[in-house]
Amino acid sequence: MSGDLKITGDVVGGGELVVAGAVQGDITAKKITIAEGGSVTGAVEAEVAMVAGMLTGQLKAATVTLASTARVVADITHVALSIESGAVFEGYSRRVDNIDQATQQQPAGRATVTPISVSKVSTPADDDMTTTASAS
């Protein structure tokens, strides 16, 4: 899909799809690449997903790669996830042993995440750095 193409609606394919334009809707394909400059707003489902552009929504794929240019605000369900340095990912990551498990409910007690803040504290007695973490 070329860079000047904008689609509103769902896209379903059995092969490889490269998104260089903008899609507002859900995408299902065997392999999907969201190219640098491309954007998807919706749910994406594939066996293999490579994101170098923007994704907002959900992503479900056995193998997921977020390139250094990726900007992702989504929940990702995956078997394998690779995030290159420079990629921006905001959301939840859920690893499963088999992508077919993704439709099952998340185990009780796993839905609550307590964010922590990490800071380095220097002591005047020496130059050693101590790392502290606290729940916010």
The set of residues, in sequence order, having a beta carbon less than 8 Å from that of 115 and lying 6+ positions away, is 135, 136
> Is residue 52 domain-resident?
yes
The set of residues, in sequence order, having a beta carbon less than 8 Å from that of 20 and lying 6+ positions away, is 1, 2, 3, 5, 35, 37, 38, 53
Tens-digit pLDDT profile for the chain (136 aa)?
Answer: 676 788 888 899 889 999 999 999 999 999 999 999 999 999 999 999 999 999 999 999 999 999 999 999 999 999 999 999 999 999 999 999 988 866 544 444 444 444 444 444 444 554 444 444 444 4
> Is residue 113 domain-resident?
no
Q: How far apart are CA 94 and CA 81, in angstroms?
A: 10
> Is residue 131 domain-resident?
no
The domain tally of the chain equals 1
R_g (Cα) of the chain, nearest Å: 18
Q: Which structure tokens are listed for 87?
A: 């990629």
Q: 26-61: per-residue pLDDT in tens? A: 999 999 999 999 999 999 999 999 999 999 999 999
> Is residue 78 domain-resident?
yes
> Is residue 91 domain-resident?
yes
Whole-prediction pTM: 0.73
Identify the domain containing residue 34 by its residue range: 6-105
> Is residue 69 domain-resident?
yes
> Is residue 114 domain-resident?
no
> Is residue 41 domain-resident?
yes
